[in-house]
């Protein structure tokens, strides 16, 4: 990887979004050129407030934040998941408001402007529902031919979902948007449940945040107990699954992953399979609904301890 991978992060912070954002900001190999916000773990307004607060904590007032969609493309917002991320989206620590302002443009326009200002140089990282990226693609149909790559946390290709038996949460929150984005004309990497459910940060791991100096780690130490409480109660997991940070781990250390490359469609029907990410498994499938779609790099296995230590190593810097 070169020393200056420029990334734009679209996010719904969110406890694991905070981990991923801080991980990226702690990585000299990455340059975060902006944050865009979307509904998902909380309403968009609160996700925007949290994005600004996180940049305050990280001491990065130079990074712009643009607010995006407050509802999916073709349905109502399914609503906040306070039982996962807290009423404030940040583990109920209720941070003070930021004094910073958001950019005076919609996130979709911000994505377009950022990409077109640096054609083939910007990597887009999607950590929430894909609505803003889909809107940008609808507004500018040739946009993704100018995008370096898109790395998404979302989907479940060969495994079951977490928001329904079929669907992962970011996809179920806007299946129509996800189906548009998986049709992008640029390389796409999918860090979905196929791989993130293999990465468990144990409670012993999480306790390490409390020993790392600095405000980023202090915030993570304060918020992760809420998240691990959800996993304990719902999934009987000792610790947390590492979802959003896996996009950053992939960018820093793709050699820690294996993958398969297949085109993807998303079930946008209104059956029990709504939001399922369906890879084309047979050559003949590519003549059907998957026709003309580029293969998506679907991460399927990982050196889990390797990526966990990578994250702690970077966050300790
Ligand atoms: C995804 O859903 C959200 O709750 C998390 O922040 C993550 O982006 C995991 O399914
Ligand atoms: Ca997220």
Q: SS3 letters for 263-291?
A: CEEECCCCCCCCCCEEECCCHHHHHCCCC
Per DSSP, 144 falls in state G
Q: pLDDT tens digits, residue range 287-317?
A: 789 999 999 999 999 999 999 999 999 999 8
CA of 220 to the centre of ligand 1 (A): 16
| For helices 44-58 and 215-230, angle between their N-to-C axes, nearest 10 degrees | 140
Could you list the active site residues? 12, 243
pTM above 0.95, yes or no: yes
Q: What number is the average pLDDT over the span 94-104?
A: 95
Pocket test for ligand 1, best of 128, 132, 223 (most atoms within 8 A of CB): 128
Q: Which ligand is nearest to the CA of 171?
A: 1
Report the pLDDT averaged over residues 125-130.
98
User: Which ligand 1 atom lies nearest to the CA of residue 17?
Assistant: 6
Determine the Cα angle at 25 with ends 20 and 31, to 5°: 115
> Which residues in 165-263 belong to E strands, given as ranges?
188-191, 200-201, 240-241, 257-262
pLDDT of residue 1: 45
**Would the pLDDT of 14 be above 60?**
yes
pLDDT for res 284 = 75
In terms of Cα–Cα distance, which of 273, 208, 275 is closest to 240? 208
pLDDT of residue 3: 60
Two tokens, residue 291: 């026709």
Least confident of 125-129, 233-237, 251-255, 294-298: 233-237
Task: Identify whether the C-beta of residue 35 lies closer than 8 Å to the C-beta of residue 51.
Answer: yes
Ligand 1 site residues, Cβ closer than 6 angstroms: 14, 16-17, 41, 84, 127-128, 153, 162, 168-170, 243-244
**Whose Cα sits closest to atom 4 in ligand 1?**
41
What residue ranges define each of the domains in the chain, with the CATH number in brackets? 5-315 (3.90.245.10)
Confidence band of 282 (pLDDT split at 50, 70, 90): confident
Ligand 2 centroid to Cα of residue 13, in Å, is 6
Q: Which of 52, 53, 51, 41 is nearest to 79 (CA)?
A: 41
């Amino acid at each position: 990887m070169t020393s200056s991978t420029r990334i734009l992060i679209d996010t719904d912070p969110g406890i694991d979004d905070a981990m991923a954002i801080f991980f990226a900001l702690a990585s000299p190999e990455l340059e975060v050129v902006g944050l865009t916000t979307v509904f998902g773990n909380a309403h968009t307004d609160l996700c925007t407030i949290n994005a600004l607060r996180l940049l305050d904590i990280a001491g990065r007032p130079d990074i712009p934040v643009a607010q995006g969609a407050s509802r999916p493309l073709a349905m109502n917002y399914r609503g906040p998941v306070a039982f996962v991320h807290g009423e404030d989206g940040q583990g109920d620590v209720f941070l003070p408001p930021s004094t910073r302002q958001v950019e005076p443009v919609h996130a979709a326009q911000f994505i377009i402007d950022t990409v077109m200002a640096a054609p083939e140089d910007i990597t887009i990282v999607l950590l929430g529902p894909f609505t803003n990226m889909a809107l940008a693609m609808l507004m500018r149909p040739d946009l993704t031919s100018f995008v370096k790559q898109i790395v998404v946390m979302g989907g479940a290709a060969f495994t079951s979902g977490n928001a329904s038996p079929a669907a992962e949460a970011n996809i179920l929150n806007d299946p129509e948007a996800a189906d548009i984005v998986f049709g992008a004309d640029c390389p796409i990497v999918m860090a979905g449940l196929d791989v993130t459910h293999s990465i468990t940060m144990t409670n012993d791991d999480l306790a390490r945040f409390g020993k790392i100096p600095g405000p980023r780690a202090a915030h993570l130490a304060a918020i992760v107990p809420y998240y691990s409480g959800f996993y304990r109660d719902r999934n009987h997991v000792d610790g947390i699954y590492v979802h959003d940070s896996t996009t950053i781990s992939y960018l820093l250390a793709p050699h820690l992953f294996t993958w398969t490359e297949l085109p993807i469609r998303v079930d946008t029907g209104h059956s029990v399979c709504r939001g399922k990410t369906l890879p084309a498994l047979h050559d003949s499938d590519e003549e059907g609904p998957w026709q003309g779609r580029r293969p998506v790099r679907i991460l399927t296995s990982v050196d889990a301890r390797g990526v966990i230590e990578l994250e702690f190593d970077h966050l300790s810097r």
